Amino acid sequence: MAGDKEEQVVKAVQRMQDYIVRHLQEPITMRQLATVACYSPYHCARMFRELTGVPPFEYIRRARLTKSALVLRDGDRRILDVALDFVFDSHEGFTRAFSREFGVTPKRYAKKPGPVQLFLPYGVEFQHLYKKRHKESLMEKAQEKVCVVFTQVVERPARKLILRRGTKASDYFEYCEEVGGDVWGLLVSIKEALHEPAGIWLPPRMRSGGSEYVQGVEVSSSYDGDIPEGFEIIDLPACRMMVFQGEPYDDVHFEDAICSMQEQLKKFRPELYGYAWDKDNPRLQLEPQGWRGYIELWSVKEVQKS
């Protein structure tokens, strides 16, 4: 595939992904997916598998199991009701599928929801742009833009951080190449999380010979739950953080939004507001979501008045 044809295929598969999200709790047929994609069922199945890495119905099954796991984790629902809500024919069939996917029965998981590997695939348009990215040219464009930024200061109490380290990664892209894309699903599954998962730039004192950039989730300082294999938990002291939130943007332009924000932050002077950067504490990057704008949190400390 090349040029316009490649773009058309990417958009067709993205339409199928979007349809699946909207109709996850309803029966979905290959003909319905073909209708929204505007290709034959045969071509839709082939294109979908080529771009997402899994056949359409395996994708749907895993997406339903992930949503059902979150419902069981956060609610007090009967297993059968959850099974029927997500288009499984029986309690037994749902239990078998859930156990194969997560290595634990839904009944046991509902009683004690530990970390599991959720299925959280990216949209193919996002992946397509990632593969085609030209970071230097994007940075040049970002420098030409004016990024309106909303800023506030928040307090973070002493807490812990469950994280997966890389080796030498200094940003998101290097981290994905080193560690892979499975980290986020585990982090999202941790019920005791204080906030959403984040990409994190660690200060030198917290790196322990690993990468500067990691992915993790904050939990309370009293957390005593499971730590997923390959992850570790460290203490984070109380700190003050300055939140920077950019304008909403189209999701396929996520790199422009990130680069624009980061160029603005290079020029930001916290001293004008009575603060200085706190280089002994982390800097956080929240998941880019166009509807809310790109968000970073930088640790700051008050400037001592003479």
DSSP assigned state of 304: P
Residue pair 69/116 in contact by the 8 Å Cβ criterion: yes
28 lies in some domain: yes
Pair 168, 291 in one domain: yes
Q: Is the pLDDT of residue 137 over 60?
A: no
44 lies in some domain: yes
40-68 pLDDT, tens digit each = 999 999 999 999 999 999 999 999 999 99
- Backbone φ, ψ for residue 293 (5° rounding): 85, 160
Q: Is pLDDT larger for residue 175 or for residue 145?
A: 175
DSSP assigned state of 281: S
Q: Cα(266)–Cα(277) distance, rounded to whole angstroms?
A: 12
Domain count, the chain: 2
146-172 pLDDT, tens digit each = 466 788 999 999 999 999 999 999 998
The encoded tokens of residue 147 equal 């990024």
In this predicted structure, which of 96-105, 171-180, 195-204, 252-261 has the lowest mean pLDDT?
A: 252-261
Q: Cα(80)–Cα(93) distance, rounded to whole angstroms?
A: 10
Pair 297, 160 in one domain: yes
140 lies in some domain: no
259 lies in some domain: yes
Q: Is the pLDDT of residue 294 over 60?
A: yes
For residue 18, the domain's CATH number is 1.10.10.60
Q: Which domain holds residue 4?
A: 1-111
Last residue of a domain, one of 111, 135, 158: 111
Last residue of a domain, one of 62, 84, 111: 111
Q: What pLDDT shows up at residue 257?
A: 85
Q: Cα(108)–Cα(226) distance, rounded to whole angstroms?
A: 15
Q: What pLDDT shows up at residue 148?
A: 64
Pair 156, 267 in one domain: yes
Q: Is the pLDDT of residue 222 over 60?
A: yes
Q: What pLDDT shows up at residue 7?
A: 87
For residue 163, the domain's CATH number is 3.20.80.10
121 lies in some domain: no
Q: Is pLDDT larger for residue 142 or for residue 160?
A: 160
Q: Cα(131)–Cα(125) distance, rounded to whole angstroms?
A: 10
Last residue of a domain, one of 82, 111, 140: 111
Compute the mean pLDDT over every residue in the chain, rounded to the nearest whole number: 90
